[in-house]
């Protein structure tokens, strides 16, 4: 058992560790809120793009929402463990941080490896959506209209992609291709946007997904600090038999 004088000397060190870990845990909790907000933002603002990707891609916002929620709960647990100065709770906190870090690392690697499939998947599904397009409002047709009207584009590579569709043979270009609200007759190519949507969409996805990836990478690296602090505090408490007075 450590002598009273030794325990007295180590109390300032442990108190310092506790203070730093509490500050870290609070910031970590905030990052969870940020990830949760980014996930909700991605679900709302990128929903039209995700709807034209495969089913796995549509789960990305939910993964961020779930990760943010877990971080918020874990941050609350870490704050409680630090305030209690419980060695076993701090070890559990460090273990959970390590587990989340590994999951995020694997997810980042998988996302990087399969990033090119996103482009191919979007292009194939967009072409399929054009061929099956109808004005009654199924989710793919709605996504096409939303993208074309928002980005002022028409078709995949250019407006001529529509000329091979059944919709064009019956009604002409959809209204979402128009440069203006009223562009009748709808077969007049001079009154529709000539530029295709594929390049524009890929530019937006790459830029906005870059923001998501950057935030996720920052959170993952930040967890290494928490793992180190929680382990050091737990070890100091165990070795010196620190007691709260």
Q: What is the pLDDT of residues 110-139, one digit of tens each?
A: 766 766 677 777 788 888 888 888 766 677
Instruction: In whole angstroms, give the CA distance from residue 192 to residue 174.
Output: 9
Structure token digits, residue 9 = 């000397």
Per DSSP, helices labelled H in 53-153 are: 60-84, 87-113, 115-131, 139-151
Q: Tell me the whole-structure pTM to 2 decimals.
A: 0.63
Q: What single DSSP character describes residue 244? A: -
For the residues 48-70, what does the mean pLDDT come to?
A: 71
- Surface-to-core class of residue 136, CB atoms within 10 Å of its CB (0-12 exposed, 13-18 middle, 19+ buried): exposed
Owning domain of residue 115: 4-243
Number of domains observed in the structure of the chain: 1
pLDDT digits (tens, 9 = 90+) for 31-45: 888 878 888 887 777
- The answer to whether residues 63 and 211 touch, using CB atoms and an 8 Å cutoff, is no
């Amino acid at each position: 058992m450590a002598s009273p004088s030794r325990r007295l000397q180590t109390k300032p060190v442990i108190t310092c560790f506790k203070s730093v870990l509490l500050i870290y845990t609070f910031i970590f909790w905030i990052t969870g809120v940020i990830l949760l907000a980014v996930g909700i933002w991605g679900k709302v603002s990128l929903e039209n793009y995700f709807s034209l990707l495969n089913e796995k891609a549509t789960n990305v916002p939910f993964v961020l929402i779930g990760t943010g929620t877990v971080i918020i709960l874990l941050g609350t647990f870490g704050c409680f463990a630090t305030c209690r100065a419980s060695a076993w709770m701090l070890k559990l906190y460090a273990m959970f941080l390590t587990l989340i870090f590994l999951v995020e690392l694997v997810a980042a690697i998988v996302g990087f490896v399969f990033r090119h499939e996103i482009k191919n998947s979007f292009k194939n599904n967009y072409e399929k959506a054009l061929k099956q397009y109808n004005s009654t409002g199924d989710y793919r047709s709605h996504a096409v209209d939303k993208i074309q009207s928002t980005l002022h584009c028409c078709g995949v590579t250019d407006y001529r992609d529509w000329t091979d569709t059944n919709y064009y043979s019956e009604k002409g270009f959809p209204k979402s291709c128009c440069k203006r609200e009223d562009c009748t007759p709808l077969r007049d190519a001079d009154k529709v946007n000539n530029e295709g949507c594929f390049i524009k969409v890929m530019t937006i996805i790459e830029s906005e997904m870059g923001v998501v990836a950057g935030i996720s990478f920052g959170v993952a690296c930040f967890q290494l600090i928490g793992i180190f602090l929680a382990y050091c505090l737990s070890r100091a408490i165990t070795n010196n038999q620190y007691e709260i007075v």
